[in-house]
Amino acid sequence: MPTRLSAWLKAGIPVLQKDLRVEFRTRYAYSALVMFAVTTLVTVSFSIGGATLEVDIAASLLWIILFFSAMAGLSRSFVQEEEAGTVVALKLAADPEPVYFGKLFFNVVLLFSLAALVVPLFLVLLNLTVAMPLYFLLVVAMGCLGLAGVTTILAAIVSKAGAKGSLLTVLAFPVLLPLLIGAINATRSALAGVPAAYLRPDLNLLFFYNGIAVIASLLLFEYVWNE
């Protein structure tokens, strides 16, 4: 089993490279993500007009922005395969598991690069200071991993269901909610600064949720991909 997993991971890299190359040519998914995030952020920042937000509200806002941006861009990798008619070629070229890993890595790369842009902007525009920077980074990273992990397989489902516009959000929100609850709570603690021991339950929740989500997606992906 471990040898197969590493083989899948290795075979996933070319899929990731292919997706990155396609993305560099059009920059559709990334611009959709970034534009969505920046527009929301600017709206929020503009409407509160320089007032300092409470930590609770700021933490929820950050994850609302990240969640809806993810919904705007992450289904792209699968929908685009369907639209371009390249699904069959990809099916021939790779097993389902490498395809899953490739798409997952691609979505993780997308979300991380989005977070790298949006999170600093968020802190600057909303005039926030982070009490525990390292934990804050860790929480954002784990939250993004979870968002990508769950959204990848749901995006595959949505692309097979005829890419109905709002379906992804409807499907993803409730499934992602345990993750969002954990991430918002942990972000709030990291912004406000609490003893490190208080962060443990949230981080555990994020960690196990991510692990279970990725394993389940890996087991189920074959059934979505091959029909």
**By C-beta, is 101 or 122 nearer to another protein?**
101
CB atoms within 10 A of CB 218: 18
Question: What are the tokens at 188?
Answer: 């709030």
Stretch that binds another protein, among 25-33, 60-68, 127-135, 199-207 (CB under 8 A): 199-207
Residue 11 contacts residue 3 (beta carbons within 8 Å): no
Stretch that binds another protein, among 62-70, 78-86, 108-116, 150-158 (CB under 8 A): 150-158
* Residue 129 in contact with another protein, rule: CB under 8 A: no
Question: In the bound complex, what is the minimum distance in angstroms from residue 14's beta carbon to another protein?
Answer: 25
* Residue 223 in contact with another protein, rule: CB under 8 A: yes
Closest to 119 (Cα-Cα) out of 152, 146, 141, 90: 141
Q: Can you tell me which of 25, 164, 195, 197 binds another protein, judged by CB under 8 A?
A: 164
Q: Can you tell me which of 18, 123, 131, 178 binds another protein, judged by CB under 8 A?
A: 178
Q: Can you tell me which of 66, 145, 191, 205 binds another protein, judged by CB under 8 A?
A: 205
Question: In the bound complex, what is the minimum distance in angstroms from residue 24's beta carbon to another protein?
Answer: 31
CA 113/CA 211 separation, integer angstroms: 22
Binding site for another protein (CB under 8 A): 150, 153-154, 157, 160-162, 164, 167, 170-171, 173-175, 177-178, 181-182, 185, 201-202, 205, 209, 212-213, 216-217, 220, 223-224, 227
